[in-house]
Structure 1
Amino acid sequence: MVKMPKRFRRNKMLLCFIFLLNQSAFSTLESLQSSLNQSKGTNALAVLYVCMVLSALLLPSFVISKYGCKKCFLGSLAAYGLYIIANFYPSSYTLIPAAALLGIGSGIYWPTAFAYVTRMSSHASPNDFAEFKRINKNTFATFFMFVYCSMVVGSAVTIAMLFTVSSIEDALGSNSNNSSVNATETMNKTCGLFYENHAPPNKGTAMSISNLTLYIILSGFFLLNASSMVLSSCLDDYPEHIIPSPQPEAVKFSSGLSDEEKNVVASEDNTPDVQEQNTEGDKISREKHPLGPLKATFRLLASDLVAILLLPHTIHIGMGQAFLRGTYFGNWISCNFGLYYVSYMMLVFSVTSLLTSYTSAKLLAIFNHRVLFGVSVFLELSVLITLLLWQTSDTVWPFFLVTMALGVSRSLLKTQTPSLFASFFHHKQNQAASLQSSSEAIGVSITFGLMSCLFPISFVVLLLVMSLLAYVMVNVCTLIRNKPFRKIS
């Protein structure tokens, strides 16, 4: 095994900590939006994810090629910082424009990270294709380990800040109910299924938090974001490079383009992986036109029935994510127990998800996708039925069990879906990945957008239906995978 150059190791760790710090701030703040800002926060998140889908489909190829990865990181991180600043004065006039700008930046942020990892790997091993693949795989594994840990870190930091502020206020003898900001308790104090997310909050209730608490939490998030910007300025900006190839002639690529180009090699080699990477569908995705990824995604939908049948599954994943972070944390946890317990539940959920994601690969070696998806759907249905039938009370420990079950269920769905798509679309993996990420974001934006006008019971019932429909569609796709009538051209 070749020892990695010092420059490679330095940039690898910088990139990992950039995402750890920034995602620790954003993922935690996103989960607190329904508790802090009610419908204003969830409406802004809906706008954020719509803009992110459009940005991810249209902008990365052009922007990364023109400005390079380092400038794209700095610009995207600045958008995250502006969104955090907008929460200091939360109104529709500040949150929605900041969320739209963040959506555009986020759509560039993630493709830039994937392109940067590939550039680093190609520079570290310019002549050995097998070594390039090994380095690329290991780098992505380390990168996503840090990303998965970000919510754990964010939740722990939030808990620490809340306890610190509480100690300060107790020492000063201040009443945390004075000068309170938006709380989650509504005028009729109804939590759970019939919580009114659009109702004005009561100020001065036991569930309110002081302005001091809010400003310290937001300042901590902004400090994490600013630290990630400082680290980003220390990154080396790798130029275009030649990917090592099994072929005699290496294939030139610009990692500023979409992630489809990361796996492009010539078709003369008889290696199965190389043949799969050089299909007609990938040629479409390699178009430099800004609409290339968008066209490729729609062509996949038009040419393959399985792609259409899997849409309920990916949309359901996005809806579940928004339900957890918006409806469940705000309408059940924060409304019943306050903001402190939202942080505890986020920590429990993130730790459970992290452990499940690391064991899912071993589980997949023992069980097939249908079994694991069946377990996930069973857990999710059990939680949703419990929320429908159970009258919420002041007892907090059952919510920890519900949160753990949601962590296992959501993590199983999220981690198994990429390999499921790879098995269905082994000739069009890049277009399938684009379809997966965009449809999940659409599910998130739809759910956040409807939170201000529907009761939580509507989302529980809708998730019940979508969960069953998604499981049925996954099984149907498994059955027709190799049928002659399936269009795969």
Structure 2
Amino acid sequence: MTNVRGGSIVARNNFESSERWRILKNILIIGIAFMIHFTAFMGASNLQSSINADDSLGTSTLASIYGSLIFSNIFLPVLIISWLGCKWTIALSFIAYIPFIAAQFFPKFYTMIPAGLAVGLGGGPLWCAKCTYLTVVAEAYSTVSQLNADVLVTRFFGLFFMFYQLAQVWGNLISSAVLSYGMEELPSSNVTLNSSAVAEICGANFCYKVEENPNLASPPVERIHLISGIYLGCMVMACLIVALGVDSLSRYDRGRSGSAAGKSGFQLLIVTLKLLKEKRQLLILPITIFIGAEQAFLFADYNAH
């Protein structure tokens, strides 16, 4: 008995019932690895407009990341995944993020911008490999359960993003803990909650009143290096977790042919552009634009100083 879905053929008798626990283990390990990895990346990204504010270095680095990510998503995933497989694409794409953290020890345009470009180039294969892995193992899981593969894809993605979204929490906690450790608290008698005084040094005026508001001063270099060292260790750990703990996708993709097989980067670009004819796709675009603007505000303006 076979199950045909989305151009793939999965034999129902290929897997034992105990395989479901192995599949869940792989999903949990990938989710934990992404959480640890993006704890470092998101934590460092949130600080860019503060610790690298001179000449807009941090903001320019973030722009280079997402600019190269556009190119990466179109041309690299099919090539890299077909060459390395999903597991090793994830592990090696994690390595592409490491120069971004290492550059925090010596933040200059000639170190940060190339590091940002490397992040973008690694991001496309990373996310496509993750999506492919979860989709394929969902199809395999459906052969040893009574659940539809589409339902399992939704559940597996939900489980994964539960871990992924926690990265923002841990990243900000690490940054806050390191930057605030050992700081002397101001006596309560010196704290004045006066709206007019706050308006003079906050909001639109915060960039011009640094000398009057110590909270807006750049943190000590030693603290930045400590944070960068912690984040660097997180990324190395995430890479090792995937390399040592995740099963190769070849275990589960028996008889499966991807929809992008045999297509070049330019052919995939044409297919992507043709989606703009779809009304439902056009309705998604405003949401995508809003998310992009929201992230730009959170990572650059809101987190400034």
Letter in 2 for 1:325: F
Given candidates 49, 61, 66, the residue that maps to 1:44 is 61
Paired residue for 2:4?
none
Query: Residues of 1 paired with 2:82 and 2:103: CA distance?
Result: 30
CA distance in 1, matches of 2:25, 2:65: 32
- Partners of 1:137 and 1:222 in 2: CA distance: 32
Greater RCO, CA 8 A, separation 6+: 2
State the Cα distance separating 1:325 from its structure 2 match: 1.6
1:253 to 246, 251, 257: 257
What is the TM-score of this pair, normalised by structure 2?
0.77
1:61 correspondence with 2:78 = yes
C-alpha deviation, 1:96, in angstroms: 0.1
Q: 1:121 to 1:30 in 2, by over 3 A?
A: same
Q: 2:247 matched to 1:230?
A: no
In 1, Cα distance between equivalents of 2:130 and 2:257: 16
Q: What is the deviation of 1:191?
A: 5.5
In structure 2, what is the equivalent of residue 357 of structure 1? none
Please list, as runs of the form range in 1=range in 2, the aligned pairs for 1:92-111 lying within 5 A after superposition: 92-111=109-128
Question: What pairs up with 1:257-272 in 2 under 5 angstroms?
Answer: 261=259
Query: Which residue of the other structure, out of 299, 310, 313, is the alignment partner of 2:274?
Result: 299
Q: Is the Cα contact below 8 Å between 2:137 and 2:252 reproduced in 1? A: no
Letter in 2 for 1:36: I
Note the alpha carbon deviations across 1:348-376, whole angstroms, 9 max, x for none.
xxxxxxxxxxxxxxxxxxxxxxxxxxxxx
Say whether residues 1:320 and 2:289 are aligned partners: no
Give the TM-score normalised by structure 1.
Answer: 0.50
Identity %: 28
> Take 1:91 and 1:191, find their aligned partners in 2: how far apart are those partners?
28
Matched with 1:18 is: 33
Count of aligned pairs:
267
Give the whole-Å Cα distance in 1 for the aligned partners of 2:82 and 2:99: 25
Letter of the 1:16 partner, please give it: G
User: Are the equivalent residues in 2 in contact too, given 1:60–1:107 (CA < 8 A)?
Assistant: yes
Structure 1 pair 226/208, CA: closer, same or farther in 2 (3 Å)? Answer: same
Deviation at residue 312 of structure 1 after TM alignment = 4.4
Moved segments of 4+, more than 6 Å = none
What code does the residue aligned with 2:24 have?
R
For residues 29-68 of structure 1, give each alpha carbon's deviation from its aligned partner in whole angstroms, at most 9, with x where no partner exists: 1111000101101101101101111101221112111111
Q: Please tell me whether residue 148 in structure 1 is matched to residue 165 in structure 2.
A: yes
Q: Which residue, out of 289, 294, 298, partners 2:264? A: 289
**Separation of aligned partners in 2, 1:31 and 1:237:** 33
Find the aligned partners of 1:111 and 1:75 in 2 and give their Cα distance: 13
Q: Residues 160-199 of structure 1 correspond to what in structure 2 (within 5 A)?
A: 160-164=177-181, 166=182, 192-193=203-204
Contact 1:126 1:242 in 2 (8 A): no
1:114 to 131, 156, 160: 131
Measure the CA separation in 2 of the matches of 1:71 and 1:226.
14
Q: For 2:242 and 2:109, locate their aligned partners in 1 and report how far apart those are by CA, in whole Å.
A: 30
Kept in 2, the 8 Å contact 1:119–1:240? The answer is: no
Question: Would the aligned equivalents of 1:34 and 1:41 in 2 still touch at CA under 8 Å?
Answer: yes
Does the CA contact (< 8 Å) of 1:286 and 1:292 recur in 2?
Answer: no
Q: CA deviation at 1:133?
A: 3.4
Query: Cα RMSD (Å) of the superposition?
Result: 2.9
Q: Cα 1:79–1:190, aligned 2, differ >3 Å: closer, same or farther?
A: farther
Give, as a single letter, the amino acid of the residue that structure 2 aligns with 1:238.
Answer: L
Counterpart residue type for residue 274 of structure 2? R
CA apart distance, 1:131: 4.2
Which secondary structure does the structure 2 equivalent of 1:236 belong to? coil
Q: Deviations over 1:258-293 (max 9, x none)?
A: xxx4xxxxxxxxxxxxxxxxxxxxxxx676322343
CA spacing shift, 1:145–1:306, aligned 2, 3 Å = closer
- 1:188-244 per-residue CA deviation (whole Å, 9 max, x = no partner) reads x97543666xx9x98xx662321221111111111111110110111211117558x
Match of 2:250 in 1: 239
Q: Is the 8 A contact 1:241 1:253 kept in 2?
A: no
**Matched residue, 1:280:** none
AA matched with 1:26: F
Q: In the TM superposition, what is the alpha-carbon distance from 1:76 to its structure 2 partner?
A: 1.1
Q: Tell me if structure 1 keeps the 8 A contact 2:39–2:171.
A: yes
Bigger CA drift: 121-130 or 80-89?
A: 121-130
